[in-house]
Structure 1
C-alpha cells in the first residue's frame, strides 16, 4: 500500500502562495516559473534576472526528491514509523530516508541553539566547565573515547543552563560560546584553567 500524501502537498501549495518572493541578489520581486517540474524564481528586474529554486536555503534544496515526499518522510518518522516501513510506503531508498532524517536533526539542532536566550545577568553567577562523555577504550587504562561538552549553568533557583558539544576546548572556542550564551554583566565561576584566562576582559567579574 502506498502512502497518500495529499495533506503534505496541500500544505506546501498553501505555503507557496503565502511566500513573499524576492530576489536574493537585488531584493526586487521575483516571478515563479516551472522548469522540468522544478519551481524556479526569476528576478523581474531586467538588469538582474537572477534565478534560484523556490526552496533555496531550505532542507528541500538538498534532495532531488519531491519536497512533498520529503515532508511525508518526516511526518511518518514523527508518527513512529520505522525506516523499513517508510521505504515501502513511499517507494524511496533507505539511504535517502536516512539522509532526510539526518538533515532534519541537523536543522533542528541549529534552530534550537539559534533561538536560545542568554543566561546569567546582573551579578548572577554562571559556572562554566567542560566534561568528556564516553567510555574507556577496551576497558583499559585512562584513555576515554567520547565527546567534549561545554556547560554553562546559572547558580540560581531556576538553574538555567546551556550545554554544547565542542570539537576543541581552545580559549577562542570557549570564549566565543560564553559571549554568545552568557550575558556580559554576569559573574563567571570556572576552575581557573588557562583557557579561561581572557574571560575577565569581557565579563563583569571572573
Structure 2
C-alpha cells in the first residue's frame, strides 16, 4: 500500500543501496493550446530493493546547483546511483 511521503522523512537509507535517478515532467494537457506544455519538473529516485521505494521532488531548475544539495540530503554517500544522463 502506498505510504504518505510526510510519514517517512528518512529518504533513501541503508547500506550499499542501488538507486535509479531521473527527471520527469508532469503536465496538464490543454487541448485548445498547441505545443505549449506547462508543468512541473521532478527529480525521481527509485530504490532497487524489494521495497522499491520511490521519492519524487519538484524542482525549479534542472542544473547541478539545484540537484546536488537535494541528492546529498536524500542519498547516503555509499549508495550506487544509476542515471540515464
Do both share a fold (TM > 0.5)?
yes
Name 1:181's counterpart in structure 2.
74
Name 1:169's counterpart in structure 2.
62
Q: Secondary structure at the match of 1:175?
A: helix
5+ residue gaps, structure 2: 1-5
| Greater Rg by CA | 1
Please give the alpha-carbon distance, in whole angstroms, between the structure 1 residues aligned to 2:57 and 2:11: 14
RCO comparison, higher one (Cα < 8 Å, 6+)? 2
Please tell me the root mean square deviation across aligned C-alpha atoms, in Å: 2.0
Does the CA-based 8 Å contact 1:121-1:185 persist in structure 2? no
Of 27, 31, 34 in structure 2, the residue corresponding to residue 140 of structure 1 is 34
TM-score (norm 2): 0.78
Name 1:159's counterpart in structure 2.
52
Please give the alpha-carbon distance, in whole angstroms, between the structure 2 residues aligned to 1:125 and 1:139: 41
**1:120 Cα shift?**
4.4
Please give the alpha-carbon distance, in whole angstroms, between the structure 2 residues aligned to 1:175 and 1:160: 20
Per residue, is there more strand in 1 or in 2? 2
Aligned 1:8-19 pairs, distance under 5 A? none
Aligned length: 79
Of 20, 25, 30 in structure 2, the residue corresponding to residue 127 of structure 1 is 20
Q: Secondary structure at the match of 1:144?
A: coil
Runs of 4+ in 1 over 6 A off after TM superposition: none
